[in-house]
C-alpha cells in the first residue's frame, strides 16, 4: 500500500489536533480555584506531573500518536477500515484511562483491575495490527512501528504493576488478585 505523504509529518500534524491533548492528560475544569487552597492546587499539580512523567504514560502517549497516525491513512468510505479506526482509538484511550484510574486507586486489587484493562487494550492493539497487516489496510512499516511501540510498552507495564503495594488492599468480596505472587 503506497501513500503520498511522509508518515512522520502527517503524524505530527494529526496528533496536534487529536481529541486527547497529549500535553495535558488531566482536565483542569474540575478544579475550582475559589474553593481549593493554594496548597491543595499545588498537590494536585504535583500528582498530575508525577503521573504524566511515568515511563508507562510516556510510552502510552507514543502509542496514541502512532495509532492516530495510522488510522488517518484509512479510507473513510471503507466499513472495515472505519471499524478498525473506531476500535483502535478506543483501545489507545483505554491505555491512558486505565493508567490514570490505577494511579488514582488506593487499593492493590483496584490498581490491578485497571492494569488488566490496560494489558487487554495493549494486546488488542497487537491483534488489530495483525488484522490490518493480513487485510493489507495499512502500510506495513507503520504497523511495524506500532508493534515495536507496544512491545516496548510491555516491560514498562510489568515494572509499573510490580510497584503496586500488595499489602495495602481491601477485600471486595470477589477474591481476585488475593493469591497471586507479585514479582519485584
Buried/exposed code over 93-117 (b: 16+ C-beta within 10 A; e: otherwise): bbbbbbbbbbbebebbbbbbbbbeb
- The pLDDT tens digits for 31-86 are 555 556 778 888 888 888 999 999 999 999 999 999 999 999 887 778 899 999 99
**Looking at domain 55-184, what is its CATH homologous superfamily?**
23S rRNA-intervening sequence (1.20.1440.60)
Distances in Å between the Cα of 157 and the Cα atoms of 11, 56, 60, 111, 134 are: 25, 6, 10, 12, 27
Distances in Å between the Cα of 181 and the Cα atoms of 79, 108, 109, 155 are: 44, 13, 13, 17
The mean pLDDT value for 106-124 works out to: 96
- The pLDDT tens digits for 117-136 are 999 999 999 999 999 999 99
Amino acid at each position: 500500500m503506497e501513500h503520498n505523504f511522509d508518515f512522520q509529518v502527517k503524524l505530527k500534524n494529526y496528533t496536534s489536533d487529536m481529541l486527547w491533548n497529549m500535553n495535558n492528560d488531566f482536565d483542569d475544569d474540575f478544579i475550582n480555584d475559589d474553593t481549593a487552597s493554594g496548597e491543595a492546587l499545588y498537590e494536585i499539580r504535583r500528582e498530575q506531573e508525577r503521573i504524566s512523567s511515568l515511563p508507562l504514560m510516556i510510552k502510552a502517549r507514543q502509542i496514541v500518536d502512532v495509532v492516530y497516525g495510522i488510522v488517518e491513512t484509512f479510507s473513510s468510505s471503507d466499513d472495515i477500515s472505519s471499524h478498525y479506526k473506531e476500535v483502535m482509538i478506543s483501545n489507545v484511550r483505554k491505555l491512558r484511562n486505565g493508567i490514570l484510574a490505577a494511579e488514582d486507586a488506593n487499593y492493590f486489587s483496584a490498581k490491578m483491575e485497571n492494569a488488566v484493562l490496560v494489558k487487554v487494550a495493549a494486546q488488542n492493539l497487537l491483534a488489530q495490527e495483525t488484522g490490518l497487516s493480513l487485510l493489507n489496510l495499512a502500510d506495513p512499516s507503520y504497523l511495524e512501528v506500532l508493534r515495536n511501540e507496544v512491545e516496548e510498552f510491555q516491560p514498562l507495564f510489568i515494572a509499573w504493576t510490580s510497584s503496586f503495594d500488595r499489602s495495602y488492599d481491601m477485600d471486595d468480596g470477589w477474591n481476585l488478585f488475593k493469591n497471586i505472587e507479585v514479582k519485584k
